[in-house]
Amino acid sequence: MKELIEFLHTTWHQDVMTYQGYFALFLVSLLYVYGLKKKNRLVRGYLGFSMGWILLFCFLPFTWVCTRYLTGEGTYFHLLWALPVVQMMAYVFVHWMSRLKKVSQKIVWLVFALCLVWWAGSCVYWRADWSQNGYSTRNPDLEEQMEICLILDALDGDKTVIADDDFLPLLRQVSGSIHLLYGSDIGEEGAYPDEIQDLHNKMTAGMFDSQYLINTASDLGANYMIVAPDVNAPMPRLDELESNGEIQILYITEHYTLVKF
C-alpha cells in the first residue's frame, strides 16, 4: 500500500502537473463554466467531456490502473492532450470580458489575462533554446538527422530501422511507414526481448562490432541502420562490408551514415 501511494503521488506530480499552471487554470475555467446558469449545447459537451475524462483517467484512484494497463508510465501525460484546455480557457476569457461595460475594464482584463497565461506557462521556443534558423541549439545535428530521416522516408519497400536514440522520435514524426525495431522506451525493463535490448546496448556502448549489429538486426527483422561511425568507430569498417557485398551505404553526412542490408 505504501508503494502504491508513493507511485500515485509521484505520477500525479510528474505527469498530471506537467501542464503546470495551465492545468490549474483549466480547472478554474471548468468551475466557472459549471457555475453558469445558461450554457449552450457545445459548452455543455465540453464541460461534460472534460469532467468525465478527468474522473476516468486523471483522478488519483485510477492513475495506477491507467499507467499499468492503458498508457504506460512514460506516456501517461498524453491523456491530458485530449482535454479541451484552449477552448475552455478561451471561452471563459471571452465570456467574462463580454460582461464588462467599460473599455478601461476590458483593457485591464486583457492585460491581466495575458499576464496570467504568461505566468502559468513558458515560451516553448525560449525554453528549448531554439535558434533563428529553426533548429534547437541543444541538438546541433538536428538538420543532418532530419536529412537522413527524409531520405529514408522516400525509399520504397518495407523499412525497419535500428538507430541511435536521438533518431527514434524523429523517425516517428517523419513517417508512420518507417518501422522501428525498438522505441524510446528501450531503456525500460522488460519492454523488449533480451535480444533487442542487447542489440541496443551494444550499438550505443561506444565501439561496436558492425558485423554483429547487421547480422543480429537482420535476424530480428531490420533492414536499415543509422550509425555515427566517426563516434562509434565500428569494426570492421562499413566500407569494407560494402565492398564484400554485405551492405549498401545509401547516404553519408558529416556525422551519420544510412546503411541498407
Largest CA distance in the chain: 81
Alpha-carbon span 128 to 138, nearest angstrom: 7
**Could you tell me the residue ranges of all domains in the chain?**
2-127, 142-260
Higher pLDDT, 167 or 10: 167
Beta strands 248-252 and 257-260, pairing class: antiparallel
pLDDT in tens, 136-161: 555 667 778 888 888 888 888 888 88
DSSP-derived secondary structure letter, 261? -
DSSP of 81-148, one letter per residue?
GGS-HHHHHHHHHHHHHHH--SHHHHHHHHHHHHHHHHHHS--HHHHTTB-TTSSBTT-TTHHHHHHH
Classify each residue of 93-102 as buried b or exposed e, where b means 16 or more C-beta atoms within 10 Å of its C-beta: beeeeeeeee
Residue 168 burial class via C-beta count within 10 angstroms: exposed 0-12, middle 13-18, buried 19 and up: middle
Please state the separation of Cα 50 from the chain's center in Å. Answer: 22
Going from the C-alpha of 24 to that of each of 20, 31, 117, 200, the distances in angstroms are 7, 11, 11, 40
Write down the pLDDT at residue 2.
Answer: 63
Alpha-carbon span 170 to 161, nearest angstrom: 12
Write down the pLDDT at residue 82.
Answer: 81
Using the structure block, give the residue that is written with the C-alpha cell 478554474: 28
pLDDT in tens, 32-76: 888 887 878 888 888 888 888 877 776 666 777 777 777 766 677
**Grid cell at residue 10:** 509521484
Alpha-carbon span 20 to 17, nearest angstrom: 5
In this predicted structure, the answer to whether residue 130 has a pLDDT above a threshold of 50 is no
Write down the pLDDT at residue 104.
Answer: 92
Cβ(55)–Cβ(30) below 8 Å: no
> Any bridge partners for residue 249, and if so which?
259
Alpha-carbon span 202 to 210, nearest angstrom: 10
Which run of H or of E encompasses 163? strand 159-163
pLDDT in tens, 70-85: 776 667 767 777 888 8
Average pLDDT over the chain, rounded to an integer: 76
Q: How many CB atoms lie within 10 A of CB 251?
A: 14
Write down the pLDDT at residue 181.
Answer: 87
